[in-house]
Homo-oligomer: A and B are copies of this chain.
Amino acid sequence: MSIIHKYEARASSINSLICIGLDSDYDRLPVQFHDEEHPQFAFNKWIIEQTHSYASAYKPNMAFYESRGTQGMQELKLTMDYIQANHPEIFTICDAKRGDIGSSNNGYVTSVFDWYGFDAITLHPYLGREALMPFLGREDKGCIILCRTSNPGSSEFQDRRTKKGKRMWQVVAENVAEEWNENGNCMLVAGATYPEDLEIIRKTVGEMTLLVPGVGAQGGDVNKVTRVGLNNEGLGLIISASRSIIFAESPSQAAQELRDAVNNY
């Protein structure tokens, strides 16, 4: 059974399509955490305890841990161990945006899936399916391919039209849906900031699950995303917010509000 069912089971059981991004930038942590031995881990533990009832997934972005060298990596590992010990039913996504040639990708597979123990990873499509086979071949894990990213400048290459009139992100969506997904473990990133494109992606990929960043601090519209993004089972979306939840005055309330905004649609 595909690892994506782990997410779906959790989402159905708590009635929430929300993913919380653990983008725990050390410089933005409330000052009381700076005195802890493991400040990022202590903060994450506090966030998880406040938000786990609303969270179907947690998604730490590697950049905020790597910035502190081995100490940050250790605190991310502690965070993963904590989630696995206390909330093993919650889906975990490593927002690493990796993508190398095949022989190097083996190293990332070992790191992200086996050493940290993540359920899924975000990946760049630029090197093609052949290079990403070490990830795609792991039937027990999820591969979330960048398709239409949420950032303001994402059109530079992603919106280039091919000879046949398709934009690059459409080509990525088609190839992943038609050729990459033989293990049923592929998903796509489709930013909330481009809801018209998200709608086309949904039509292109059938029931495939989409990771949707860009609500919250980046300004994506939850109603639009939910309206055009759900699949026929009322699932198929992982709606992710990071800064707007973890740095809110009440992370618990912010997570609940986002869940309700999605469910109210």
Q: What are the residues of chain B within 8 A of A127 when measuring CB–CB?
A: 146, 149, 151, 153-154
Q: Which of A4-12, A45-53, A62-70 contacts B (4 or more CB under 8 A)?
A: A62-70
In Å, the complex CA distance between A171 and B160 comes to: 9
- Closest CB-CB distance, A135 to chain B, in whole Å? 12
In Å, the complex CA distance between A74 and B71 comes to: 10
Q: A77-B70, A153-B130, A161-B162 are in contact. Are A63 and B111 (CB under 8 A)?
A: yes
Chain A residue total in the interface (Cβ 8 A): 62
Copies in the complex: 2
- Closest CB-CB distance, A151 to chain B, in whole Å? 4
A residues contacting B by CB (< 8 A) are 23, 25, 61-70, 73-74, 77, 95, 97-108, 110-112, 115-116, 124-131, 146, 149-158, 160-163, 165, 168, 171-172, 175, 243
A154 touches B128 (CB 8 A): yes
Q: What are the residues of chain B within 8 A of A152 when measuring CB–CB?
A: 130
- Closest CB-CB distance, A108 to chain B, in whole Å? 5
> Can you list 7 A-B pairs, Cβ within 8 angstroms, ordered by A?
A25-B107, A63-B104, A66-B107, A67-B108, A128-B154, A130-B153, A161-B163
- Closest CB-CB distance, A60 to chain B, in whole Å? 11
Closest to A73 in B: B70
A175 touches B156 (CB 8 A): yes
